[in-house]
Amino acid sequence: KLSKRLETVAKFVPQDAIVADIGSDHAYLPCYLVHNNIAKSAIAGEVVKGPYDSACHEVQKEKLTNKITVRLADGLAAIEPGDGVTAITIAGMGGPLITSILEKHPLALEGVERLILQPNIHAKVIREWALQNCWKIIDEVILLEDEKIYEILVLERGEMNLSELEKLLGPVLKQQHSDVFHTKWTREVEQWGHVREALQKAEQTPEILAKSAELAHLIEEVGEV
């Protein structure tokens, strides 16, 4: 059974997509997508030998070797020109790692219509990358599983405008304002408050003062939301 987190990622994979799941680990997501006739076929990419072996093992066990190709490669290098990949999933990593994967092999994105990204932290850098690279956010989800809060960003090609606050909070998530969203940002504002108190006790160098002012601004803006 797939985690609620990965099941939610799967919900955004278009019917009959050819999917590349990058950083696939056990290849649970591509196996689920093919078993449920959502994906026509899939690539499971892994850069580390151990998880790559787990992925191969899982795909064999599930008798899906005709539909899922497992490749040992760094990021989007797992995608080959003839694959015809239409959707990419990248889940369970930090936002900066996800964006670095997207930036490293830009040609692999040709023909890709949708990106479904699930950063564990720092979703903001993905929204910034999307803005700069002509992808727009078509949907977002925030969810709680095992006491952890996850965000899922669904991107398609296009233009969008985001305010600074929307880059941080997510335009759709800010609008929806779910309970989980509220919990996440209440916690963050509290954390920033603690950091700010600590800064106020430190020697007031220009750097410390600037950082403190920046936190005060964030606390006010996010606190208001």
Residues that bind ligand SAM (CB under 6 A): 6, 22-25, 45-48, 51, 74-75, 91-93, 97, 101
Task: Please say which residue, 92 or 95, places its beta carbon nearer to ligand SAM.
Answer: 92
- Give the helix/strand (H/E) hosting 21: strand 17-22
Residue 109: CB minimum distance to ligand SAM, A: 15
Nearest approach, Cβ of 177 to ligand SAM (angstroms)?
Answer: 26
Smallest distance from the beta carbon of 54 to ligand SAM, in angstroms?
8
Tallying the residues shown for the chain, one arrives at: 225
Q: Which two tokens mark 70?
A: 């497992």
Closest separation between CB of residue 92 and ligand SAM, Å? Answer: 3
Give the nearer residue to ligand SAM in terms of CB position, either 140 or 166.
140
Indicate the residue among 24 and 69 with the shorter CB distance to ligand SAM.
24
Task: Output the DSSP codes for 105-136.
Answer: -GGGGTT--EEEEEESS-HHHHHHHHHHTTEE
Q: What is the DSSP secondary-structure string of 138-189?
A: EEEEEEEETTEEEEEEEEEES-----HHHHHH-HHHHHH--HHHHHHHHHHH
Measure the CA–CA gap between 113 and 90, rounded to whole angstroms.
14
Query: Of 46 and 140, which has the nearer Cβ to ligand SAM?
Result: 46
d(CA 77, CA 45): 8
Q: Residue 188 Cβ, how far from ligand SAM at the closest point, in Å? A: 22
Dihedrals φ, ψ of 54, to 5°? -60, -40
**Residue number, 51 or 170, with CB nearest to ligand SAM:** 51
Give me the amino acid identity at 198: A
